Structure 1
Amino acid sequence: MSTTNTEQVVTSAPKLKEPKQERSNLGHLLARSVSSGLVAALVVAIGLLWSVPTFGLFVSSFRPPSLINTTGWWTGLVPPWQFTIQNYMDVIQAQGFGRAFLNSIIIAVPGTIFPLLVGAITAYAFAWMKFPLRNWIFLGIVALQIIPLQIALVPVLGLYTMLGLNGQYAAVWLAHTAFGLPFSIYLLRNFFAALPSDLMESAHIDGASHVRIFWNIILPLSVPALASLAIFQFMWVWNDLLISLIFLGGNPQNAPMTLIIANLVNTYGNNYQVLTAAAFISMALPLVVFFSMQRYFVRGILAGSVKG
């Protein structure tokens, strides 16, 4: 009888714990779903709040001056709607604005390609080539990100003046390339180093040189990191005012949109609707670049963060 009672206790014990385990698992799942739902709701709320100024700028750019001066932009969403494209016509007809848009493209495209190309070549050397003091040199390049670019503007301006580059496109190309290289090398080196080493060893065994490995293997596998870096660099160059003001301020023929919009603030300081239209035109191309490459953005941001 004692043996039977013991077996009954042993067999019945798990059955008593199962409801508690199920309730515990259910509680964990419920807590996890609630926390994930709160995070999702918080992200959506932040995204909407972040988009409100941009949407308000877009609405205001189509409103006539009389309504902008007397009512808020949100009132334009209520019928009857009174929108106009005169603000954009005034901006386009402003002196030098069309030329400034072309200048911004001429500055931004090479100012994005050069740091990507030079940074990718340098990052490959730090990731897969052996040479003396490699880690110390890489540490010094990473440390350059801490140095503010403003302290280098005066000596660089003096050098450009001596070489006759001041006021030329080449001046801002070289400046954006030099100031953008530390971050480019840092991001791409981490991504290149995370690629499988067996792939590189197999290529070397097959007789591939470093140049062929870089162009035929590294670059095709690094599209997410390159696209993410291209977004960062393009946004920085396109929205830059300080470098353009210092190196191109004396040559209005090569002035980008940022300089023209800064001049519009002085010329049309009381015409808020003109400034909104100019600002939204300057935002249009960066938004197109970002949304066309956004699928690579997160993958590029996480480049090299997880090994394997």
Structure 2
Amino acid sequence: MNIITGLLLALSLCWSLSNYCFIFFWTLPFAWPLLVILMTTGLTALYHHWPGITAFMLPLWVTALLAGIQLHYHTEIRFLILWAIFTAILLYGRRILQRWYDEAWDTHQENMQLIQRLESIANQDALTGTANRRALNAYLAAIWQQKTPLALMMIDVDYFKRYNDRYGHQAGDECLSSVAQVLKMAVRAEGDLVARYGGEEFVVVLPGVSLAHATAIAERIQQKIREAGLPHAASAVASEVTVSIGIVASDGTVPIETLIARADSALYQAKNKGRNQWSY
């Protein structure tokens, strides 16, 4: 028996003793209405908590039954019938209330799941399954507010326009999806974010990561991309899909817009040096 159930039982015993005196000794006219109010109040407040409703209702029910039988001993059968009907109403009422509660809770759970799905859709790139630009901006804003040190990569699929021209846009979409999966597998630390920045560009956010660690991750990304072996006969740097990466790091004080601009500049340098490499 927990504390709440114990308190309900103690409260019910006090009311039970009072009602017994009201009914049997003093025959006060408000005794039965008061009893009904107490029991219906307990029903509506505690119907979803079986130990609580039992602790509160049972002493009242037994006490009123005994007092009523002693007071109406000449009409005991009729009183028992009325009391049985009242008891049935209470039990049925609890069942109805519990059903309404269950239905309302199920509806609430469905609504919460729907909200979560909608939030996921609103923050997820439909093609690649990565975070979208909206989610990226919100994540970077949160990091900026906390002044968290981070590294940021801007990644571009090399010669992607040529890939689309040679293999078609559907194959291009599949290529981007495959690259996104490789990126997510390559950066699996909790808190890392992979987002599609636009077109064939991705951004990877690495909170708490130094520039040296970020370059190691960039090398791992390029290695994983090569291992994926996505054919790219139109590329000027390799026979398979490759990526160029621009890397920047911040101590948490650099504005997000400046960080993005620096990453874009580093990416431009990597592409200008011949692609299929990283730069900072």
Relative contact order, higher structure (CA 8 A, sep 6+): 1
Greater strand share, 1 or 2?
A: 2
Q: Of Structure 1 and Structure 2, which has the larger fraction of its residues in helix?
A: 1
TM-score, normalised by the number of residues in structure 1:
0.24
Larger CA Rg, structure 1 vs 2? 2
